[in-house]
Structure formats: structure tokens, C-alpha cells
Amino acid sequence: MRITILGSAAGGGFPQWNCNCRNCAGVRRGSVRAKARTQSSIFVQGDAGLDGVLFNASPDILEQIRSSPTLQPGRAIRDTAIAGVVLMDGQVDHATGLFMLRERGRPLPLWCTDPVHEDLTTGNPVLKVLGHYCGVDRQRIGLEGAAFEVPGAEHLSLRAFPLSSKAAPYSPHRDNPVPGDNIGMLISDRRSGRSAFYAPGLGEITPALFDLMCGADVVMVDGTFWTDDEMIGLGLSKKTARDIGHLPQSGAGGMMEWLDRLPNATRRFLIHINNTNPILDEDSPERAELARRGIVPCEDGMTIEL
């Protein structure tokens, strides 16, 4: 299996267009050593050269496809290596890139849960709008953890698990979370038996979820914030990381504590990194702490073979 990191930043990207936090201003000026990042999305193939699955459709998708030749195999006048799209939630940073795929000749095969389908046909009716272009061939993701496949994505088997996180502000159930607003995905290669657990938005780790993570060769999880009060401290929000469905890396019960308890051989990655997160600064003590613990912050263009 091969994972290509198309985008590794949280909503807004890095640097964010209107932001002058230390990271955003510093990377623009060249005074902070950090890599620019687009909004979070990954592409997974059974092997290099095969068609694969796009997890999330970021508003930056056209730039991401241009930078990743593996997504454009060039076999016909109109072509793509995207066999289908799977959504982890219905947020702007993960779903509005669907508009950019409207030139597709046939309806877009799209997997999402019922609550995400509701959000994307009511509060933010992206799927209805696409009905005026290529159309969407929507497939339902159930929450029972049953394995499913995306036809055309050879060797891959997927299982979804509901996560505690947050629906988008336009969701009819924004303040009344329901299972399926956010999911994590166990992506397995049926030949090798290897697997990756992917959860770009993750607010809480339950014992059952941790067991699942322990069984994966690669764990790629929510890297949005370093501290719970990161946005409050900068005067950018009144809400904590946990309030908006993101488990911070540091502190008691934080992501680093959980990742430390995984089996030694597990490869650990953070994705969906907010522009305010000090781990983006390659010279920061927080980045050094991740390195000490064997945790890798994803970068755009990175590929992981497993």
C-alpha cells in the first residue's frame, strides 16, 4: 500500500491567507523554518501505478493533483487515478474540493456517512450542486465497522469507525453531535495484511479506538493543535481544541500520551496541522519533542509505503 500526503494542514492551510501568527508571518518572511502546507487530504493506492482512493476533497485539490503526477496517469484524453472519494467529515476543508471534480464525465463515486450526506445536501448542499455537473454516485458508509471496497482501487479494503469530534457549523446537528459526523478509517491491503488508521479529526480516544490503533502498522491522526487553549491564548477564538473536536498533542490525556503507548513498531504521523501549531516550526522545542517520541508531522508530497 502507498499513501500520498496531498495536504497536511488544517482548515485555512499554512500560511493562512489572513493570518499573522508567529508561524504564518514567519514562514512568509523566511524567519521561521517551516514548510507551507495545503488543506488535509490523502491518496491511497494498493501500489504505485494503480488507481486509488481519495480521502477527503480539499479546496486545494487542483494544486494537489498538479503536484502529484501519480494522480494523473494520462491513459486517455480525460483521465484520473481517483477511483472514488471517501469523506471523513462534511467540513469545508474536506468536502468543498468536490466542486473542483465537476468536469468528470461520469457521476463521481463518493462514500460518506448518513450525517455527512445530510450536511452536504442541506446546510452546504455541495452534492446537490454537483448534480448539475457530473453528478454523484453516493455510497453509504455504515458505522458497524463492516469492510467495504472502492471498485477500481485494487487490493484495498476499508472499515469506518465513528469518532467523537464536531460537525461543521452549517450542519443541522452542529450542537448535537451524532455518530457519523466524523469517522476514522482503517485502510488495509488485502494482499499484505498491512493497515493504516487514518483520523484527521479526532476529539477523544476511547479504549476500543485505542485497541484498533494498536493493530495498525501506521497511525495517522489529528495534529491540529499543540495545546488545548492554543487559539484562546492567541486571542483568535474563545473555544478550546477539545470544544471543536480536536484532541491536542500536549497535556494530560493528550495525543502524545496515547501515541507513546502504541506498540514500538507502529509508525506515528500527525496530519491536519493548524497554522498556529508550534510543531510546524522545524526549530521549535515542540518539534524536537515529537522527534524524540518518534512522531512525524506530515508534509505535503510525502509518501508512505507499507
User: What is the spatial distance between Cα 273 and Cα 251, in angstroms, rounded to a whole number?
Assistant: 17
Q: How far is the CB of 193 from Mn ion (least distance, A)?
A: 31
Question: One symbol per residue from 240 to 259: x for binding ligand MLT (CB under 6 A), - otherwise; what is it?
Answer: ----x---------------
**Smaller CB separation from Zn ion, 21 or 53:** 21
- Does residue 10 touch ligand MLT according to CB under 6 A? yes
Binds 275: which of Zn ion, ligand MLT, Mn ion, none (CB < 5-8 Å by kind)? Zn ion
**Residue among 163, 165, 56 at smallest CA distance from 120:** 56
Q: How far is the CB of 109 from ligand MLT (least distance, A)?
A: 23
Which of these ranges, 83-91, 160-168, 271-279, 290-298, lies near Zn ion under the rule CB under 5 A? 271-279
- Does residue 21 touch Zn ion according to CB under 5 A? yes
**Smaller CB separation from Zn ion, 19 or 88:** 19
User: What is the spatial distance between Cα 120 and Cα 129, in angstroms, rounded to a whole number?
Assistant: 10
**Residue among 149, 170, 279, 174 at smallest CA distance from 227:** 279
Residue among 1, 3, 6, 24 that touches Zn ion (CB under 5 A):
24
Backbone φ, ψ for residue 87 (5° rounding) = -100, 135
**Smaller CB separation from ligand MLT, 7 or 109:** 7
- Does residue 56 touch ligand MLT according to CB under 6 A? no
Backbone φ, ψ for residue 94 (5° rounding) = -110, -10
Q: Which residues contact 208 (CB under 8 A, 6 or more apart)?
A: none
Q: Which residues contact 98 (CB under 8 A, 6 or more apart)?
A: 57, 85, 108, 110, 126, 127, 130, 136
Residue among 6, 9, 19, 209 that touches Zn ion (CB under 5 A):
19
User: What is the spatial distance between Cα 295 and Cα 259, in angstroms, rounded to a whole number?
Assistant: 8
Measured at the CA of 273, the angle between CA 177 and CA 59, to 5 degrees, comes to 75
- Give residues in contact with Zn ion (CB under 5 A): 16, 19, 21, 24, 275
For ligand MLT, the binding residues (CB under 6 A) are: 10-11, 91-93, 201, 244
